[in-house]
Amino acid sequence: MIQPNDPDPAIRHLSADDLYREVIEEARQRSFEEKFAAGFELFERSCEFMRAGIRMQYPDANEDRVEQILKERLALGRRLENGE
């Protein structure tokens, strides 16, 4: 008989290594289209976080200025990646 304080039997207790292996295996099974879409979604989410940071840093900036700063930061990131 299940007691009120018993852990949910549906919950598996995984180590960090087990969880990592599971995530990697799921990623390997995705199609190219799914991987591409996930990459795009991650990039868009990163841009939203960057926009939020820009708005905090420049509270008086309008949306056009926020986008301009975002583009400048992305360009800087590309230059740094290329060793320029």
Averaged over 48-77, what is the pLDDT? Answer: 97
Using the predicted structure, report yes or no on whether residue 7 has a pLDDT greater than 90: no
Question: In this structure, what DSSP letter does residue 30 have?
Answer: S
Using the predicted structure, report yes or no on whether residue 1 has a pLDDT greater than 60: no
The answer to pTM > 0.85 is no
User: CA–CA separation, 63 vs 82, rounded Å?
Assistant: 29
Domain ranges across the chain: 42-84
pLDDT in tens, 18-55: 888 988 999 899 999 999 999 999 999 999 999 999 99
